[in-house]
Chains A and B, each alone.
Chain A
Amino acid sequence: MTSLSVVYPKFYKMDHLSQLGFLAMEVLARESQVMRRYVSEQVALVLSNANASLDTDKVYFKTTKTMASPALFVYTLTNIVTGELCIRHGIKGENAFFVFPKFDSVLLCDYVNMVMASEKTQACVAGWVDVMGDQHDVFLYLVEKQKKISSLEHSAEQLQKLYQLKYGTVDGRS
């Protein structure tokens, strides 16, 4: 949190999934200034992952053997991360969370396109936020109706390429 210089005490109470989503969204929001350019209702949020909230579910389950933790219990739902991001950034547009076996650029792209087709939505933050143990995988991107010259095409192929770039590979090649 030091390099991002964010003062947000609730960060320390979040589970790892919400913390990962929070950090990625801080970077995206700061770089894009998306919440300054649109009103809250115009921004949507569509996230996905493979492990749902299982990382936190396991920690919570351990506490049920002695004294169940209410603070952990509230994070035993996948979509809590979307709620945390909406609270932090004032996002009031449509939001959804999908659980896929692996990053699915086709389904994600299709759903985001459907969300963007509504008259109200002007921008959508979308992507993948996944945590299991010490494995963290996050990929967020911003789609806007108003395109810039530098904007990339929003397509499943493009998303797959960008997602794989995180690992230094494109189309399975190093």
Chain B
Amino acid sequence: MADLKKQIIEALNLKHLKPEDIGDEQSLFVEGLGLDSIDALELIVLLQQQYNIKMANPQDGPQIFKSVKTMAEYIRANQPA
């Protein structure tokens, strides 16, 4: 998950954060990391670029991007062999 945190920091320009600042289960949006809708789009791009995963249903976004842990679980379950 440390790599994923690094990728999130890089993709979203969160230069004020280090990977260890982001909790595995910390909420990424609103009261947690404070990401916004543009960041959500960047996370979709990150999945596609880094893991070759195209989100089949954008409505699943809130569940997938709930935390780094849920993102990692989604990547593990959907990464092409």
Contacts and interface: CB of A to CB of B under 8 A. Distances in A.
Interface string B1-25: 0000000000011111000000000
A19 B1 CA distance: 31
Given A9-B34, A74-B38, A69 B14 contact: no
Nearest to B11: A71
Interface residues of B, number: 13
A70 B38 contact: yes
A9 B33 CA distance: 10
Nearest to B40: A70
Interface residues of A, number: 10
A67 B49 contact: yes
Interface in A92-107: none
B42 A12 contact: no
Contacts of B26: none
Interface of A: 9, 12-13, 66-71, 74
B49 A9 contact: no
A9 B34 CA distance: 10
B49 A12 contact: no
Contacts of A66: 49
B45 A12 contact: no
B41 A70 contact: yes
A69 B13 contact: no
28 contacts: A9-B14, A9-B16, A9-B34, A12-B13, A12-B14, A12-B15, A12-B16, A13-B12, A13-B13, A13-B14, A66-B49, A67-B45, A67-B48, A67-B49, A68-B45, A69-B42, A69-B45, A70-B38, A70-B41, A70-B42, A70-B45, A71-B12, A71-B13, A71-B38, A71-B39, A71-B41, A71-B42, A74-B38
